[in-house]
Structure formats: C-alpha cells, structure tokens
Amino acid sequence: MCGIVAYIGHREAYPLIIKGLKRLEYRGYDSSGIALLNDGLNIYKKKGKVVDLEATLINENLTSTIGIGHTRWATHGEPNDVNAHPHYSASQNLAIIHNGIIENYSSIKKNLIKKGHVFYSDTDSEVLIHFIEDIQVNTGCLLEEAVRLAMKEVVGAYAIVIMDATNPSQLIAARKGSPLVIGVGDDEFFFASDATPIIEYTNEVIYLNDYELAVVRDGELTVKNIDNILQSPYIQTVELELEAIEKGGYEHFMLKEIYEQPRSVADCMRGRVNADSGLLVLGGLRDYVDKLAKTKRIVIVACGTSWHAGLVAEYIFEELARINVEVEYASEFRYRNPIIKEGDFVIAISQSGETADTLAAIELAKSKGATIIGVCNVVGSSIPRATHAGAYTHAGPEIGVASTKAFTAQVTVLAMMAIAVARKKGTLHEDTFRRLLFELERIPSKIETVLKTDEKIKEIAAQFKDSRNFIYLGRGYNFPVALEGALKLKEISYIHAEGYPAAEMKHGPIALIDEEMPVVFIATKDSSYEKVVSNIQEVKARKGKVIAIVTEGDKLIPTMADYTIEIPAMHEALIPLVATIPLQLLSYHIAVLRGCNVDQPRNLAKSVTVE
C-alpha cells in the first residue's frame, strides 16, 4: 500500500517525482524517498510526509533526468528513515521502490546472510533488491533477466521499479498483484501506481499485467512476460482531467468529494437511465442480465465501505428481484473454502479495482465456475480485467482516504443492476419500475438539498467533538447506512463508534447508554418507522443523546430527539443514497474540530493492495 513514481526522459526528474508523490500520498504517508542518478546513485529518504522529505533537500544538487520515488505505508518494519524506500542493493549500484509484500522474504534473507549480505532495514523490499543483484552476480546475466528469474522465486505481491547506476539510460519495472501504470510521452516514460501523477504530462498509458516486466532502455520500451516472451502492450487514453485531482478551493479533498456527489451520482447514471422513455441500460452487463435473472444465488464480495454498499445491494436485490444474496468480506471469503457452484454470480465491489483480498476472492470464485461481475471506479484497474463483465461507477478520482462519493456511486450502480434484473425476471411491476427510474433521476437534486444543511451539521458536530464513543442505529436499508456512518467517524476522527441494527440494541449495546453517549438514528419514514421511534424512546429513557436523520416534515421524532437533520422523502430502497450524506458531513466536521488530518488519517491507506 504505497505510492510509486518514476521517470526517465528529457525533463528534470526531481520536481516531477516530488509532485507525483504528493498526488499519491493518499496511498501511503508514513515516509517517503527518492533516488536520482547524479554523480552516482543517490538516495534521499525521510520519515513523515513528502513535505518533510522536500524540506531536507533544499540545498542538495538534484539535477537528473532519471529517478524513482516512493511514499510508504508500513508493512515490514516501523516507519522511520531507514525503512523508507528506495533501498540499495549490496553494491549500491541498484535501487528499488516496491509496493506489496514478499511473503517468503525471510527464507531468502537467511540464505543471503549466509552469503555475506548485510541488511540495514527491516523491510522485505531490501531483501528483494539484494536477491536480484545476487542472481545477476552469480549468473552473469543482464539485470532484466535477473529480475525475471527473481519473479519466478518470490512469493507474494509486488510492483517494483529498479534503477541501475551502471546503466543511466535504463529503468526496469515488474508487477504481480500490485498496480503499475506506464505513461508514454515523447521520448520519455513515466511509472506510477495510478494515473494521477502522470496525467499532467501524458494521457497515453499502459497498464502492466501480472507477471509482466517492462524495460526502458535508450528511449525504447519493451514488455515481456515471466517466460521471456515479448508482449504487445495496449496503449490506452486516460479520461482524467487535472482539475479532478486538485482540491479546487476546498479545505480538504474529503469535503470536495462530499460536495461532488450530486454530480458523481448523475455521472453514474448518465446514458444509462432515462425515466421518460423507460430506459435502463448497463452496457457492460448487456450479455449477462438474462443470466442474472435466472441465477438462484448472488454472492457479493468487498471490503470496508464497499462491503457496506454490498449490504445495501443485498436488500435491493432480494426485495426487487427475489434472488438470494450473501454479502461476504473478501478477506474472509477467500480463506473459508466457500461453497460456490457453477451458475452462481459473484459481484466484486472495489473503488480502486486493486483491493488485494477482493482480487483473490475473484480468482477463487472463478476457479469454482462462478460468473464474476465487477463494480469499480478506476478504469483499467485489475478487477475489471479479472471479471467476466461489470460496470464502472464513473465517480471520478477519490483522493480522500475515507470513501464518500465512491459509496454513493457504488450503491447507484448496484441499484440500477437490481432494477434491471428484477424487470427482466418479471418481479417488478412496470409502474414500480418507472417510479424507481424517476426517483433515481432525482437523487442528485436531493443530495444537493441535504448539502444545504451543512452549517447545522457543523453546529451539531461542535457539541460532540469531545465524545469518546458513538452508536449508530438503523433498520432495514438504513442498517448499512448506520455501519457506514460509524466507519466514517472512526476513520477520520479516531472516536470509537459502532453501527448496529436498531432492534439489536436491546441485545447488548443498550448497556452502554447514558447521558454521555451520543446515539445516531437513521429514522426516515419507511416500513420500520414506528419500530425506530420505539428504539429512540428506549434511548431517551436512559438519558442518551439522540441525533436523528429524519424525513422532511416529520413532526414526531423532533419532539423526542436532541438534534434532527432532515432529508427529502424518496423510495425506501434509495434512502441510503441520501441518508449517508449528513453522516459524512458530521464525521468530517467532528474530525476537523478535533484537529485530525481528514484526508490522510493515521494508519490508513486508500488502496489496500496487500492482504
């Protein structure tokens, strides 16, 4: 879970790499470093943020047209200057940056120590570059061949870029399980974990596949597979505007992304939904809607916020399409020897499209004969390439580590999918189908309405910024909203929070209720409204502080709750798309008032590319 940037060409490498690392810092921000060829192979690295590294280099001569850079989220070894990347080989002629985990590094390290190798860090990455050089020295082969041979020996995941002091016109990269994209410019090449550091210079990119090795030498790029067979890489045009990865005047990326949701949800539906003509088309699923309508079982695999989106989808699919749905944590699914049969559908949800556990779950399900559908945001990422079909969310880049617009976009796609399947299956009356399309088209304007309550939510946040615990409660479609609200608060404010089905409060959590406990209810006008009202009364009887998300015009709950936030009325199945907005804002404002780093919360990284 690290950010990789590398460059070779005619430009000065240092300013390009530093800017790229800042754009990738959401992927890891424990430490950072760069390596440049300038009177030798020089590595500069520092614990902390990229700006901390930058401050140490003010008086250095950084002139070079080739360089590699890295921003780290620690896996092997604590965050410090020594464990930061890049790492030298034994001779210090090679330097490596690495994203991923080498699982068998310990046995490799023991063998290398027996040969006299000395290691200075605790990382698996330093072991890898020593191993590659050891192969090169003992076989007399070219560096690219040593990398290829090492790829056959190491177990785990990696995206690596290697620089060689003895060959200043060469960069070598390889990948397995961790993302790596190559930007193609005019007599120049860029390497990065994703396209955000590249888009300022070129929109022509190559997505390296697993077990592929790329070599830039003397201005030419070649790509081979692990069996040394030359590949013909496909150059794609990235549709990404530079403005989309800038803050645009907002204090934080997270706030910007919360406010982008009217547009991102609309973009998700553009060309897919037209209520006036009764149109609902998901082009990426055109050949699979019939099969989905006939399946008896859908398994949804995801992690984190995407798992919560999957829970919402479970309710929608089961109610509208009457298909049995199970929602699994990808990390548990892959280790549990799950029962998957031919004819089952597995829907894999991931914002980045690179989530390691979800990718592993996909491969397991495919091996058992399931049909895999992907729901992702990042075009060209690994999960869309690993699935049979799918749909992009078109939410645009999400830089804030705590996911916001990705959640609402995922729920939108999954809702459209469920509606399309239900109509094909005949479990959805035509009048209800049309109503749902009209309701979907109005979601962006309803989100805009909720965003206007921001100042009120900020005032509520001020009352609870010093709280040590929160409970979030909801029923039915709003239970996953409660889970997502609690997760957002935990992620960015470091306040302990739990989400529960409201009915389950009496089976344990009610013991925690006292005058110091804030309880957030998602209490909209739906089929379980009266039950939730009873739950609120139970909390108030124990002096709990109630914050309630209610339907516009509700007269009853405001008489009981300490604070209420109104959202517009809508079809019950679509409430999560709007009810989650005030919870995002509440978490954001509490975190800001507590002085937390909203965009880069401690210990978290955006794209979890390790298992």
Q: Provide the 10 A C-beta neighbour count for residue 81.
A: 14
Cα diameter, the chain: 81
Q: Check: CB of residue 121 under 8 Å from CB of residue 109.
A: no
Q: Check: CB of residue 365 under 8 Å from CB of residue 337.
A: no
606 is catalytic: yes
Query: What stretches of 448-510 adopt beta strand conformation (E)?
Result: 469-474, 496-501
Q: To which H or E segment does residue 52 belong?
A: helix 50-56
Residues ≥6 apart with Cβ < 8 Å to 498:
469, 470, 471, 472, 486, 509
Q: Check: CB of residue 488 under 8 Å from CB of residue 323.
A: no
| Exposed e or buried b per residue across 199-217, where buried means at least 16 C-beta atoms within 10 angstroms of its C-beta | bebbbebbbbbbbbbbbbb
| Exposed e or buried b per residue across 1-40, where buried means at least 16 C-beta atoms within 10 angstroms of its C-beta | bbbbbbbbbeeebbebbbebbbbbbbbbbbbbbbbbbbee
* Distance in angstroms (rounded) separating the CA atoms of residues 280 and 433: 10
| Tokens 């005949």 sit on residue | 426
* DSSP type of residue 468: S
> CA 293 → CA 347, 422, 528, distances in Å?
14, 7, 28
Query: What stretches of 284-388 adopt beta strand conformation (E)?
Result: 297-302, 324-329, 345-350, 371-376
Q: Cis peptide before 444, with omega less than 30 degrees from 0?
A: no
376 is catalytic: no
Q: Long-range contacts for 596-600 (Cβ within 8 Å, ≥24 apart)?
A: 596/492, 596/493, 596/494, 598/252, 598/254, 598/255, 598/400, 598/402, 598/492, 599/26, 599/252, 599/253, 599/254, 599/399, 599/400, 599/401, 600/25, 600/26, 600/29, 600/49, 600/401
Closest CA to 159 of 36, 16, 4, 380: 4
Catalytic residue among 46, 49, 545, 606: 606
Closest CA to 319 of 200, 232, 432: 432
Q: To which H or E segment does residue 216 belong?
A: strand 212-217
| Tokens 């548990």 sit on residue | 332
Vertex 272 angle, CA 270 and 277, to 5°: 105
For β-strands 3-8 and 66-72, DSSP reports them as antiparallel
**Catalytic site positions:** 2, 606
